[in-house]
Structure 1
Amino acid sequence: MESNSRVARLLGHLNPSEIAQAGLQALPTSAPSSKKPRVAVLGAAGGIGQPLALLLKASPLIGELSLYDIVGTEGVAADLSHIDSSVKVSSATGAEKLSDALYGCDLVVIPAGVPRKPGMTRDDLFNINASIVRDLCAAVAKYCPQAWVAIISNPVNSTVPIAAEVFKRAGTYDPRKLLGVTKLDVLRANMFIAEAIGKAPESVSVPVIGGHAGVTILPLLSQATPRVDVSAEKAKALTERIQDAGTEVVKAKAGKGSATLSMAYAAAKFAESCVLALQGQAVVECAYVESHLTDLPFFASQVRLGPSGVEEYLPLGRFSELEAKGFEALKSELRGSIQKGIDFVRKG
């Protein structure tokens, strides 16, 4: 068993073509893992990265936490290392140390990039973050090609397709293991609807489909648990608030930040779901993934995660009239964002 563990760790550093050239046989990747995983956070010194790292340091599900950023990583790691949890913390700073951060990782979470600020368009955000995600994913493909990758960096509607194209070029793409994190949309839907119907947020569950920006975010109030009995006007207002919730935070912070704390919490919850799935538990999450449920190549919906990654796409179910209109409205916006990400890599 120990020998197999060492071989698996070695093979984890190679991509499939390198494994074949070396005459090695990859160990099965779909079997549950009994060890606590090594999780990397790329962008760990940022506004999302720091609280995310804190929450993951406190998780009993994680064995090692590898922190990476271009500056300030050592300070974050030193601070976290004083917390009395068993999670081991390491840090790496700068592009020349990125390999150290990634070797042997089972899950890579990417919050790196700049947040959206007042007056900043999604094009502005794209122009900065697209290159960051492209370069980080190229490193993932080289140093831990079998790892799961959870992308937070906005605009997620475009950055996940960027990552997919990078992995395809490297010959390491596994669509089951590339996940756009839309968990915050679900948490917001749960919270806002719980307030509207007078229930505890922990008791409310709302599927959210589509994408992770504006009108592409489509909460399915008609499929919520417990049943949401509100007027059509109220349902429309709740839907619009969920779609615009990111802007609500940007405005409330008066230009000094975006949704960092809630995003970190959502990302930590999502990362823990990934870890549970890696260890053999069936977990249902909403995530933005390569999908066959619609005519769009990427789509956020409920999926069942297992040791191999996405193992089942749950049906979209029946829409209300409001949701059916929203579904049609989001398609062109989401399609354009997906193509923009693909073109960025192919034409770059």
Structure 2
Amino acid sequence: MGAGSDIGRVTALFLKQQKVIKTLTLYDEPEGCVLGVASDVAHIDTSTEVEAYQGRLYLKHALHTLKLIGTYDKRRLLGVNAISSMRANQLFCSLTGKDPSTSHMPVICGTGRCTRVPVFSMGKAGNFPQTQVECLTKLVREAEEIICKVKGDGKQGHLSIGFSTARFVINIMKGLFEKPTFIDSALVEQEDPKKCYDMPICATPITIGKGGIVQYEVPTLNETETRLLEKSKSQIFRVLGSKNEK
């Protein structure tokens, strides 16, 4: 969904190159967006086939079909939080000199600016001064605003977001069809909220297998992270509560 946007185009470009993906299905609502993207990436000479659907009618059909066959499964429904964990990992590794490909830096709780909680303590950031950890946390939370100011066009960092989203999808596919695969952070319905900071829905690291989520990797927090989580939880509960009321 959203394949006609700047982020969607970058994501589609990366996904078209992946052998694990047999058919790349693109959707967007506005006219004149996704069909052009599909036509463009279809020229890339890889084995992945491309399909495109435009307009709200197609989305309604898809959602109606899911309801009819009762396919809702919380272990197979994942919200993207890849960009937050990727940014946190890059910041941490740039300071420590670690190889980003062997490091994982989860960002828990939510996906919005006021709900992201980077768990830098997992990366042994205990040697960092508290002021430095607070600065890193602020950079993760305010990354979009910083990029918009630097670019000067009011747009997000569509290259990094597109890349992280594509990697997120690829890891899901690897987990479903190849071998259990670890994902740094995904917004999911938790199996046991009591084991996840009393949050029924929370972004946490997970492991994906053939049936979907096979393990919820809930990290242990230090005091600073716990305080930030408690502040952030209220924002999540407020959003969930308002939606339930509707």
TM-score (norm 2): 0.89
- Select which of 144, 152, 172 maps to 1:274: 172
* Pairwise CA distance, 1:49: 1.0
User: Cα deviation per residue 1:70-129 (whole Å; 9 max; x = unaligned)?
Assistant: 322222112111111111112222234x2xxxxxxxxxxxxxxxxxxxxxxxxxxxxxxx
Tell me what 1:263 maps to.
161
Q: State the secondary structure of the residue aligned to 2:78.
A: strand
Q: 2: CA distance between counterparts of 1:259 and 1:337?
A: 25
Match of residue 81, structure 1, among 31, 37, 42: 42
Is 1:51–1:261's contact at 8 Å kept on the other side of the alignment? yes
Structure 1 stretches of 4+ with a deviation exceeding 4 A read none
Contact 1:298–1:338 at 8 Å: present in 2 too? Answer: no
Q: CA deviation at 1:219?
A: 1.0
Instruction: Verify: 1:141 aligned to 2:63, yes or no.
Output: yes
1:223 aligned residue (108, 122, 139): 122
Aligned residue in 2 for 1:204: 103
- Shift in Å, 1:280: 4.4
Q: CA deviation at 1:65?
A: 1.0
- CA deviation map 1:173-225 (0-9, x unaligned): 2111111100111100011111222334334321211111123111111111x
1:53 aligned onto 2:18:
no
What's 2:182 paired with? 284
- In the aligned structure 1, how far is the partner of 2:243 from the partner of 2:147? 26
Partner of 1:187: 86
State the aligned residue count: 239
Does the Cα contact within 8 Å between 1:141 and 1:172 map onto a contact in 2? no
Instruction: Give the Cα separation in 2 of the matches to 1:294 and 1:171.
Output: 29
Structure 2 letter corresponding to 1:332: S
Partner residue of 1:92?
Answer: 53
Contact 1:141 1:170 in 2 (8 A): no
Task: Find out whether 1:252 has 2:150 as its counterpart.
Answer: yes
Give 1:170 shift: 8.4
SS at match of 1:92: strand
Q: Give the corresponding residue for 1:64.
A: 23
Q: Work out which of the residue numbers 232, 236, 239 in structure 2 matches 1:334.
A: 236
State how far apart, in whole Å, the 1-side matches of 2:135 and 2:106 are.
17
Secondary structure of the residue that 1:213 maps to in structure 2?
A: coil
Structure 1's 53 and 216: CA in aligned 2 closer, same or farther, altered over 3 A? same
Instruction: Name the counterpart of 1:306.
Output: 209
Q: Report the aligned-residue RMSD.
A: 2.1
Distance in 2 of aligned mates of 1:194 and 1:288: 24
Structure 1 residue 228 displacement after superposition? 5.8
What SS does the corresponding residue of 2:134 show, helix, strand or coil?
Answer: helix
Residues 125-144 of structure 1: per-residue CA shift (max 9 Å, x gap): xxxxxxxxxxx4x543333x
Aligned to 2:222: 320
CA distance in 2, matches of 1:313, 1:73: 34
**Within 2, Cα distance between the matches of 1:59 and 1:334?**
34
Letter in 2 for 1:310: I
Tell me how far 1:238 sits from its aligned partner. 0.7
Structure 1 contact 183–270 (Cα < 8 Å) conserved: yes
CA contact (8 A) 1:197 1:228 kept: no
For the pair 1:295 / 2:217, whether they are aligned, the reply is no
Deviation at 1:227, TM superposition (A): 5.4
Paired amino acid for 1:304: T
Flag structure 1 segments of 5+ consecutive residues without an equivalent. Answer: 1-41, 99-135, 146-166
* Counterpart-to-counterpart distance in 2, 1:303 and 1:201: 18
**Larger radius of gyration between Structure 1 and Structure 2:** 1
Amino acid at match of 1:248: I
Q: TM-score, normalised by structure 1?
A: 0.64
SS in 2 for 1:284: strand
